[in-house]
Amino acid sequence: MDARLHRLLERPETAIVRDLARNRSLPIILVGGAVRDALLDQTPHDFDFAVQGDAIGLGRAVANALSADFYVMDAERGTARVLMPNTVLDFAMCRGSTWRDDLRARDFTLNAIAIDPVAEAVLDETGGIADLAAGQIRATSDHALADDPIRALRAVRLKFALGMTIEPQTLALVSAIGGDVLRPSAERIRDEFFDILGLPNAAQATRMLDAVGLLTHVAPEIEPMRALAQSAPHRFAVLEHTWQAMAALDALVADVDLPIAGSARQSIVEYLQSSLAGGRIVGSLMRFAALMHDCAKPDTLSVDAEGRMHFYTHERLGADMAAARARALKLSGDEVSWIRAFVVNHMRPNQMARMPQPPTPRTLARFFRDSGECAPLLALFAVADCWGKRGGETGEFDCGPSRQIAALLIEQYYARFEKSVAPAPLLTGQELIALGVPQGPRIGAILRAVREAQMAGEIETHSQALALVDTVRHQS
């Protein structure tokens, strides 16, 4: 056996599964991503075990032995999951009466390489080892993708995640899926799509999703963007501008080429890999918001007397459309709110960049208040959005102001505003009512004024807030 696979079997979690299966006389194989990653000299984190027998019972026993979390994913199909820090172990009943049937029913040959951990034998019924060596993704059969159309999305993800090519016949199968990609549940589409958006080269991967005819079904908002031209300084139609901006964003994320402190750069990197309630990493939410940032331009197009095109309020309508698509993909409420905040505020950093004077503390406070935690990523996107207007073309068009405002916003966010994006309120609406302010919109306006002053560092105490309320009331 290959030494890399032998090391895989020596991992503690694998050894525990092997021993418990042997004690229960349950034939098992380790198959899929863990075996593939080991052969690619990568550290596996996802382990898939096929079981001829009680897969759920074995999974529960493994979870108990590892003191790990356990849950049944599908009782009817006999699938269960064991969760450990940075490691997932899945258990499923064998697909068919033999291992040969199981392996041939899988998606791609490189995911159909298996190990019998008891016999320490390699099973490669579909030629996956040869395909892995050749760097190609090949379907296990002509009907593998039609059996489960989510595999069409997965083919694109694997291509860019592993740096491989999709074998021509398999690529034809991917392109033939079309609207059938919507057959699986929204949750499965969401998971595969957002795994693609979380890749370092998400712009290339998403552009390929479009080229093979899948993206227009997963995110139909892009279709009207395809042929909509834009006035100067834009060089591209809306969708091509989006691709250009996303590519620039990927480059910025890979190397934050801005004059910002190393600690701020590290904070951005860590934030991109963090997740909100719902489980998607922030980096994938940002790419989705970038994909959708101009989706409302077709619906807000107007042309002035000089023939210049305008898209007034496209950021607000676009935020609604992006939020609706996010909900359709079953994202969590926190994730939907994050995407909405990103899209609705995506123009503001570049608007500040065009101001004759640097933004005031109050202007910064309002921006950070409205955009919340996505503020530093909006600063990065300002540079990408600017670059996407012209692509690689040089000349008089200059993104220097966007770079300067991005550096300022990131520096200010981490130096002053990070902890005050959601500061503890100095006043409540009930206090304002007790002070004689009538119930209604006026209370909300006063509370916003107090919060802006608090975030801008103009007030810090309850008594200062009360003094500001008195000033505001006398101004009205």
For 269-283, what is the HEC assignment?
A: HHHHHCECCCCCEHH
Tokens coding 357: 């004077």
- Residue 155: pLDDT above 60? yes
Provide mean pLDDT across the span 400-423.
84
Q: Inform me whether the pLDDT recorded for 255 exceeds 80.
A: yes
pLDDT for the residue 422: 60
Residue 476 pLDDT exceeds 60: no
Distances (CA, A) of 242 to 194, 263, 290, 319: 17, 30, 7, 15
Question: What's the mean pLDDT in 405-423?
Answer: 82
Reference 170, options 179, 161, 162, 158; nearest CA is: 158
Q: How many CB atoms lie within 10 A of CB 374?
A: 24
pLDDT at 420: 63
Give the SS3 label for residue 47: strand
Least confident of 166-175, 241-250, 451-460: 451-460
Q: Is 29 helix (H, G, I), strand (E, B) or coil?
A: strand
Phi (first) and psi of residue 408, to 5 degrees = -65, -45
The Cα–Cα gap between 180 and 214 comes to 9
Rounded to an integer, what distance in angstroms lies between the CA atom of residue 453 and that of residue 215?
Answer: 44
Q: Name the amino acid, one letter, at 208.
A: M
Q: What's the longest Cα–Cα distance across the chain?
A: 84
The amino acid that residue 133 corresponds to is A
- Which amino acid belongs to residue 201? N
Decide: helix, strand or coil at residue 257. Answer: coil
Give residue 58's pLDDT.
96
Whole-model pTM: value is 0.87
What is the rounded distance in angstroms from the CA atom of residue 418 to the CA atom of residue 373?
8
Count of positions (residues) in the chain: 476
Query: Strand, helix or coil at 379?
Result: helix
How is 396-421 classified by DSSP, letter by letter? Answer: S---HHHHHHHHHHHHHIIIIIGGGS
Helix (H) or strand (E) holding 50: strand 46-51
pLDDT band at 217 (very low <50, low <70, confident <90, very high): very high
How many helices and strands in the chain, by DSSP H and E?
A: 25, 11
What the chain holds in terms of domains, given with CATH numbers, is 3-134 (3.30.460.10), 145-217 (1.10.110.30), 219-420 (1.10.3210), 429-475 (no CATH)
Q: How confident is the model at residue 96 (pLDDT cuts 50, 70, 90)?
A: confident
| Tokens read off for 206 | 């998403």
- Residues 264 and 410 sit within 8 Å (Cβ to Cβ): yes
What is the C-alpha separation between 289 and 246, in angstroms, rounded?
10
pLDDT tier for residue 454 given thresholds of 50, 70 and 90? confident
Tell me the one-letter amino acid at 377: L
Contact criterion met (CB below 8 Å) for 21 and 62: no
115-136 pLDDT, tens digit per residue, is 999 899 999 999 999 999 999 9
* pLDDT for 105 beyond 80: yes
**Tokens 């609207």 sit at which residue?**
179
DSSP assignment, residue 425? P
49 sits in which H/E element: strand 46-51
Amino acid 144 reads: A
What is the identity of the amino acid at 248?
A: A
Q: Please determine, for residue 423, whether its predicted confidence score (pLDDT) is greater than 80.
A: no
